Amino acid sequence: MATIARGQNFKPEVLNIVGSSSFGRYPKISVESTFNMFESDNFMVPYAGYKIAINYKQFETPTGAIPKKGRACFNSIKFDKIVLVLDTYVYLVIIDFDQTLQKPVYTSIQYIGSILNATNVVYIAENNAPQIMISDGEQLYYYSAANPTLQVVSGINFVPGYLTSHENHFLCSTTSWDSSDGLVSNSIQVSSLNSVSFPQTQPYAILISTKPDVAKAVVRFPSKGNMIFAMGTTVTESWFLTGSQLAIYQRNNQFNIDYGCLSPATVAYSDEFVVWLAASENSGPVIMFSDGGMPQKITTDGIEYLLSNFQAPQDSEAFIYRQDGHLFYHINFYTDNYSLFYDFNTRKFYNACDQNYNYFIAGSLCYYRNQYYFTSPNTANLYAFDTIFYNYQDTLPNGVVVNEEIPRMRTCRNIRLPSQEYFIINDVGFTIESGETNDVQQPTGEQILITQSGNQLITQSGALLITQQPGYLLTTPAVDLSISTDGGASFGNEWRYNLPAIGQRKNRLMWWQIGMANDFVAKFRFWGLNARFVATDGIANIRQ
């Protein structure tokens, strides 16, 4: 292949296709961002998509009602079943998912009862008895082999909140209390051993006392044996199980963290870390993690500025999971319609979203029989979640199942000279995998209207314009480029390149005659139904 000849006055600048969402304090500092992709071995690769594993219509209810939203998903190790909460209905689910066929090959659904509250965050835990306990923010419920229907835990005089288990004790924070019984709002209640009974006496209470506070959450610390974190709104304390008759748990008086928990639903832990959305009396929202010692912030000044401008950062939910060798912490801010995920391998943040650039729909996540599943506050489907899925599969309001393209986008770092003088961008290009995805045929009987340049026509509401005439449209994955010559304040029209079909592995994309700027930003959108994208850094050739 012939080499492209350029004059001596050309200078190559790195076009950093590989990168994260850097979140400059102001847009002028940086508009660099990445949506639904992450870095792996100096390439950008797809973040996980999802597929419906069990349709919401398969979940029967005693009244014949159809569930509308998912609230909790928990892997019961003792029962080898998923505990699933949809609306107020509770199910035990067995599912075997074939990753080669990308579909479930066996499912079993058992309705076991209902809970009272329909809106609060639901927490689930289990012990070795075995017993499963559920907190809906109003009452506690339990399920056991001896009582195979959901029962209300009786004899408690506190309103339960966050729930977990540790060394065969259930631990539950109190959101309200009965002062006549001596319970206080800074207490975390501890159950008897392998029991759903809460004695509610001093030996069975964890009292946050470093400073005046209210108990928000309690979490078993991974790989630390008898250690737990007791979290208030402005402080976190380290406690240890001793089993003493005077105090089941005792506090480490030499250590505390001056950050509490802003949203208990964001507390997540892996085999190494505890991660949570934190705050203190002197600080706004930050995301922190700890390996048992002093915590570390993973948010930058730009992200903290972003969070400080949210209307309701406490309306958030998070999960942590490990996939393809990467440990991710994913957090959704529902009121503020925003989602982020953090890769502990690269120590970088990225954006996530649904097909309409709203928050990512995954709420509660669990790992069951070699597959991740999640529930969503948007629907009552049970979804399989994996990087083998290159689409979002979901249901429309009328129940029709659709496959949606995942919007994957990369806004590169600003290219600007120290002198701030203008330069001409002759061409930009980068290396990308191609020839791995075949033509996709639109369903027979309808045809999407497109312009001469290949752009899809949409209505003001964002719906695709479709003819009623029989026909089909063959499409291959495509990459759009739009540029900004004002540092990312505004972007122009998109220039599209359709990638070659399967077997045609031309791996270099180039755009020519870009224009003139002194603060240049390139934005790329990667489009393709059932298509993956693997891309690495490129070059922008400039001259003065």
User: How confident is the model over 125-154, as pLDDT tens digits?
Assistant: 999 999 999 999 999 999 998 888 999 999
Cα–Cα distance, 360 to 331 (Å, whole number): 9
Q: Please name which of 328, 320, 288, 327 lies closest in space to residue 304, comparing C-alpha atoms.
A: 288
**Does residue 305 fall inside a structural domain?**
no
Are both 31 and 171 inside the same structural domain? no
Sequence letter at residue 52: I
Q: Given a cut of 80, is residue 535 above it in pLDDT?
A: yes
Q: Given a cut of 50, is residue 38 above it in pLDDT?
A: yes
Cα–Cα distance, 230 to 236 (Å, whole number): 6
Long-range contacts of 85-89 (CB under 8 A, 24+ apart): 85/115, 85/122, 85/124, 85/134, 85/375, 86/56, 86/59, 86/375, 86/380, 87/118, 87/380, 88/114, 88/115, 88/116, 88/117, 88/118, 89/59, 89/61, 89/114
Q: Environment class of residue 98 by beta-carbon count within 10 Å: exposed (0-12), middle (13-18) or buried (19+)? A: exposed
CATH assignment of the domain containing 22: 2.60.120.260
The H or E element that residue 15 is part of is: strand 10-15
**Does residue 195 fall inside a structural domain?**
yes
Sequence letter at residue 340: L
Are both 79 and 34 inside the same structural domain? no
pLDDT tens digits along 368-410? 999 999 999 999 999 999 999 999 999 999 999 999 999 999 9
Are both 140 and 245 inside the same structural domain? yes
Boundary-marking domain end, from 378, 404, 430:
404
What is the structure's pLDDT at 435? Answer: 76
What is the structure's pLDDT at 284? Answer: 87
pLDDT tens digits along 339-368? 999 999 999 999 999 999 999 999 999 999
**Does residue 310 fall inside a structural domain?**
no
Q: What is the mean pLDDT of residues 443-468?
A: 57
Q: Return the percentage of the chain with pLDDT > 90, whole number.
A: 72
Are both 253 and 154 inside the same structural domain? yes
Parent domain of 224 = 51-271+278-295+364-404
**Does residue 307 fall inside a structural domain?**
no
Confirm if 171 and 207 have CB atoms less than 8 A apart: no
**What pLDDT band is residue 200 in, cutting at 50, 70 and 90?**
confident
Give CA torsion, residues 95, 98, 99, 101, to 10 deg. Answer: -130
The residue that leads in pLDDT, 205 or 120, is 120
300 half-sphere exposure, CB direction, 13 A CA radius: 15
pLDDT tens digits along 274-324? 999 999 988 889 999 998 888 899 999 999 999 999 999 999 999 999 999
Encoded tokens for 200: 């509610």
- Report which DSSP code applies to 520: B
**Does residue 382 fall inside a structural domain?**
yes
Are both 396 and 492 inside the same structural domain? no
pTM, two decimals, is 0.90
Entry field: residues in the chain: 544
Q: Given a cut of 50, is residue 12 above it in pLDDT?
A: yes
The residue that leads in pLDDT, 187 or 474, is 187
Mean pLDDT of the chain: 90
Confirm if 165 and 244 have CB atoms less than 8 A apart: no
**Does residue 352 fall inside a structural domain?**
no
Are both 284 and 384 inside the same structural domain? yes
Are both 477 and 494 inside the same structural domain? yes
The number of beta carbons lying within 10 Å of the beta carbon of residue 478 is 17
Encoded tokens for 103: 């579909």
**What pLDDT band is residue 1 in, cutting at 50, 70 and 90?**
very low
Report residue 130 CA to chain centroid gap: 30
Are both 132 and 256 inside the same structural domain? yes
Q: Coil, helix or strand for 401? A: strand
CATH assignment of the domain containing 56: 2.130.10
**Does residue 400 fall inside a structural domain?**
yes
Are both 237 and 288 inside the same structural domain? yes
Are both 522 and 431 inside the same structural domain? yes
Boundary-marking domain end, from 377, 404, 431:
404
What is the structure's pLDDT at 444? Answer: 45
Q: Coil, helix or strand for 181? A: helix
Beta strands in 153-271 (DSSP E): 158-166, 169-177, 187-190, 205-207, 215-220, 227-232, 236-241, 249-257, 260-261, 268-269
Are both 62 and 203 inside the same structural domain? yes
Boundary-marking domain end, from 404, 430, 461:
404
Query: What would the DSSP string read from start to end of 70-123?
Result: EEEEEEETTTTEEEEEETTEEEEEEEEEETTTTEEEEEEEEEEEE-S-SSS--E
What is the structure's pLDDT at 468? Answer: 55
Count up the domains in the chain and report the number: 2
Are both 78 and 165 inside the same structural domain? yes
**Does residue 65 fall inside a structural domain?**
yes
Q: Please name which of 31, 36, 39 lies closest in space to residue 415, comparing C-alpha atoms.
A: 31
Confirm if 268 and 163 have CB atoms less than 8 A apart: no
The number of beta carbons lying within 10 Å of the beta carbon of residue 172 is 28
Q: Coil, helix or strand for 302? A: helix
Structural Rg of the chain based on CA atoms:
26
pLDDT tens digits along 53-93? 999 999 999 999 999 999 999 999 999 999 999 999 999 99
**What pLDDT band is residue 458 in, cutting at 50, 70 and 90?**
low
**What pLDDT band is residue 9 in, cutting at 50, 70 and 90?**
confident
Sequence letter at residue 211: K
